[in-house]
A and B are shown apart, each in its own frame.
Chain A
Amino acid sequence: MDTHLEQFDRDGALRETEAALPAETRRDLLLGALAGGTALALFASEPASSATKGDVAILNYALVLEYLQSSFYTEAERRKALRTATAKQTARVLGSVERAHVAALEQALGSAAVKRPFFDFRGTTENEDAFIRTGVAFEDLGAAAYKGQAYRIQSKALLQAAISIHSVEARHAAWIRYLAGTTPASSAFDEPKTMAQVNRLVASTGFIVRRPTTRSRRRPRFTG
């Protein structure tokens, strides 16, 4: 596992957690609950064309984080390298929510939306332990990032939307932490992170790359 991910681990809880995932599966969790029916209409009332430049910048910043999260879970699901039910379920369930966040932000931003970056998750989508740790880090980071921007958003509609995504990120963080056997809520207060702090952490992972990559630890799968 890449050591720089430790920087995400705000309370050291993850470092204390070994690969031991809960033995029991929680397979009934969530089945069907997140189906595509929850398309987000919440940005609809506020097209980006009427949003301030600052709000557009914040939404695009959120969009990059959602791209990062959704691509991570989607890739983990597609590569089929995760074996435990816990990890597979995390990828499936959280992937569907993060993709919904992406769709909502893209819709809100319209032509002002940034393009999806290319990602190289450096094996974390194929290794159980690294996958769970990275997922926890991403969700804790997501919550801290939204929290760091909420008070800066000018539009009430966009603030409402962002704050309603913010608490979902925190739910995800707690949920994966629980599945990973670490404490879901390590403190009475969650602290915000600034855009600069978040961008620095994301950059340190090396997950965002200039070119598309086909890098995989597994051998290519041929179907022909």
Chain B
Amino acid sequence: MRWAGSGPARKGFTVATEHSTASRSGFLRLGLAGAGTLSLGAVLASGAPRAEAASPSPALDVQVLNYALLLEELQVAFYAAALDRGKLRGELRDFARVVVEHEREHVGLLRGALGAKARKVPRFSFGAAVSNPRRFAATALELEDLGVAAYNGQAANLTRGALIAAARIVSVDARHAAWIRAIENRPPSPQATDPAKTRRKVLAEVDRTGFVR
């Protein structure tokens, strides 16, 4: 994996290529560390949270970064669709225009790092969340907060190089979250530390949005 940034560590490594699939279930069936795979159905059916304690490894990086890629692609698609609809005005539009470009660059970094191991993106459908400015703002806030919690939840699972890259991304997502929160008159950091959510929890929340077709 190659890192676009100039970090203290740029470890190259190879892993077995994972089979790409464009289907939603395929994308979301991200292997949990050392524990087989996790389908979205299993996410929803299972009650007990599973500890995500695994040793960082290049193979685990691939899983985590593909998971991050899904979230970033979701954000890109969301902002692009909202701008395309043309219903945003004023600072919401300014926000979307700036943020969509950042998310595209995040996708670019992740795809560059994953290379052929990047999974295909599912199709998204956003409904009123991209045509109604109020719904847009609420959704943007939710997606950015979720992105921060998702990255924070994986920090300890990443190798050094991947952690450095993820840290360069997550604080920008945190800035986006605080930005939309400021626009919406909401507290920028509702807690003194940002929550770290497990992949299971994040994917369940993504599923609940109904955005992934």
Nearest CB of chain A from residue B207's CB, rounded to whole Å: 24
Interface of B is mostly: helix
Q: Is A171 in the interface zone, CB < 8 Å from B?
A: yes
Interface residues on B, range: 35 or more
* Interface flags, A166-181, vs B, CB<8A=1, else 0: 1111111111001100
- B167–A166 contact, CB under 8 A? yes
- B188–A171 contact, CB under 8 A? yes
- B194–A164 contact, CB under 8 A? yes
In the assembled complex, the Cα of A166 lies from the Cα of B174 at a distance in Å of: 9
Residues of B within 8 A of A34 (CB): 187, 189-190, 192
Nearest CB of chain A from residue B115's CB, rounded to whole Å: 19
Q: Is A216 in the interface zone, CB < 8 Å from B?
A: no
Q: Is A151 in the interface zone, CB < 8 Å from B?
A: yes
11 contacts between A and B (CB under 8 A): A28-B185, A151-B9, A151-B167, A161-B193, A163-B152, A166-B171, A167-B173, A170-B174, A171-B178, A174-B182, A188-B106
Nearest CB of chain B from residue A146's CB, rounded to whole Å: 8
Interface residues of B in 171-213 (CB under 8 A from A): 171-179, 181-183, 185-196
Which of B104, B148, B178 has the most CB atoms of chain A within a 10 A radius of its CB? B178
Residues of A within 8 A of B179 (CB): 174-175, 178, 184-185
Cross-chain contact of B174 among A30, A167, A178 (Cβ < 8 A): A167
- A184–B182 contact, CB under 8 A? yes
Which of B106, B182, B189 has the most CB atoms of chain A within a 10 A radius of its CB? B189
